[in-house]
Copies of this chain bind each other. A is one copy, B any other.
Amino acid sequence: MDSKDLKSAGLKATLPRLKILTFLQSSPVRHMSAEDVYKAMLESGEDVGLATVYRVLTQFESAGLVTRHHFDEGHSVFELNLGEHHDHILCVKCGKVDEFTDQVIEERQHEIAKKQGYTITDHALVIYGVCPDCQNA
């Protein structure tokens, strides 16, 4: 039951929130826009307004349940937060999104921040390229 997850996140266990959380947890696709989630809600019969999807995703983000990315200008992409931080590499041809972690890069960023006198709070790293599948085509 996801109600527990919501409650412990300080959120009332409403139908729209349960529906959306369950969907995020069960979807094999990890990176989705608000519109993607909205369409999934429509298809599963459950009536959830688009505004509610946006609100809930934003609340989930504040609660740490979800992470928001800005891969392209123009719209946000969300993914269920599974704990471990990672960065992304994505295909400019087909839009595929892959993930990676690199401890060297992580450390280097902290050194850079320190050198410039910044207290680092976050970072966003996206590598753009052509994926293996799209190279032979």
Contacts and interface: CB of A to CB of B under 8 A. Distances in A.
A112 B102 contact: yes
A126 B124 contact: yes
The 5 closest A-B pairs by CB, nearest first: A118-B129, A117-B132, A120-B129, A122-B128, A119-B130
Interface of A: 70, 72-73, 76, 89, 91-92, 98, 100, 102, 104-105, 108-109, 112-113, 116-132, 135
A92 B124 CA distance: 13
* Number of identical protomers: 2
Nearest to A75: B73
Q: Is the interface of A mostly helix, strand, loop or mixed?
A: strand
A132 B108 contact: no
B117 A131 contact: yes
Contacts of A117: 131-132, 135
A128 B132 contact: no
Contact of A127 (B72, B89, B113, B127): B113
A132 B117 CA distance: 5
Nearest to A96: B118
Contact of A116 (B70, B73, B98, B118): B98
